[in-house]
Copies of this chain bind each other. A is one copy, B any other.
């Protein structure tokens, strides 16, 4: 009983903190993103799309954990601004393959630069190195879903 292993320590749950920091970031992001005609959730969608190339809308709904019908609306927003493109998948013409356009890529980069100040403010307690670590952890965490990892169902041929 003298020195229990780390396992029995009070658990360090990130959930609440994640929520908290993310909320602060999102609130401030809104004003920065508005001039670009974007809202936070648009940015998430664009980021995810860049990270995982062309996806069907259904895949996208899974990754974003959003209802399919709402994904349609989100993509409509982005499409009317020419930020994304929906093409019919040649292998299954019911599906739409969603991809960033050049305009979308460029706007995403611009948005990210614009967000530098915000991030600077919200993450001011972290060093540059720590921020990079944070980025990598989040990227890694978001790139693999539980279901995806275990059922490997999402990745079907699109083209």
Contact = CB atoms under 8 A, between A and B. Distances in A.
A131 B41 CA distance: 25
Nearest to A109: B10
A15 B26 contact: yes
Interface in A1-51: 6, 10-27, 29, 40-41, 43-44, 46-48
A144 B124 contact: yes
A119 B122 CA distance: 23
A40 B19 contact: yes
Contacts of A23: 22, 44, 64-65
Contacts of A29: 15
A87 interface: no
A82 interface: no
A29 B65 CA distance: 13
Give the size category of A's interface with B.
35 or more
A72 interface: no
A123 B13 CA distance: 11
Interface stretch (A93-101, A133-141, A151-159): A133-141
Interface of A: 6, 10-27, 29, 40-41, 43-44, 46-48, 64-65, 109, 112-113, 115-116, 118-119, 121-126, 128, 130-135, 137-144, 146, 149
Closest 9 CB pairs of A and B: A22-B22, A16-B47, A125-B144, A17-B138, A13-B112, A12-B135, A18-B22, A121-B146, A16-B43
